[in-house]
Amino acid sequence: MARIIIENAEVTKVNRTGTGFRCQNVYKTRSGEEIAEKWVIWSDHPVQVGDVVNVEGLFSKKDESFQNDEGEQIKYIAFHVNKTTVTQQPKGPNNSDSSADSWLNNNALPIDEEAPF
């Protein structure tokens, strides 16, 4: 396993037991294409859908699958982060949730100049 830091990821789903959540961070490539990295975070840190978080922990990947509406088996790789430290970013311009839009939709996306694509 490798230690990983995820910055400014938006919480997209919280599991019902409160032991984890899914989040994503979005960035632009040099060509202008938007890429979303999706993560499964294992933590009992209380978050809500729409929160923006920074996460540090141990990275692993897991092969997962599901059956779509047409009955096809879809396989994919999920990125998991365990033994995490989660910090929440302030909401809105004055640390209050003054907008129905998420933080990521109200701010420019970062461009990863180091990306190989």
Helix (H) or strand (E) holding 105: helix 103-106
Write the single-letter amino acid at 100.
Answer: A
Q: What is the CATH number of the domain that holds 31?
A: 2.40.50.140
Closest CA to 100 of 54, 49, 53, 66: 49
Q: Are strands 73-88 and 34-42 parallel, antiparallel or unpaired?
A: parallel
The whole-number pLDDT of residue 27 equals: 87
Q: Is residue 100 part of a domain?
A: no
Percent of the chain predicted with pLDDT > 90: 57
3-class state of residue 106 by DSSP? helix
Domain boundaries, position 64: 2-91
DSSP 13-26: EE-TTSSEEEEEEE
Residues 60-79 have pLDDT tens digits of 999 999 999 999 999 988 89
Two tokens, residue 113: 């100049």
Q: Is residue 23 part of a domain?
A: yes
Closest CA to 46 of 82, 5, 87, 6: 87
Q: Is residue 54 part of a domain?
A: yes
What pTM did the predictor assign?
Answer: 0.69
Number of domains in the chain: 1
Q: Is residue 117 part of a domain?
A: no
Two tokens, residue 76: 């994919």
Q: Is residue 62 part of a domain?
A: yes
Q: Is residue 109 part of a domain?
A: no
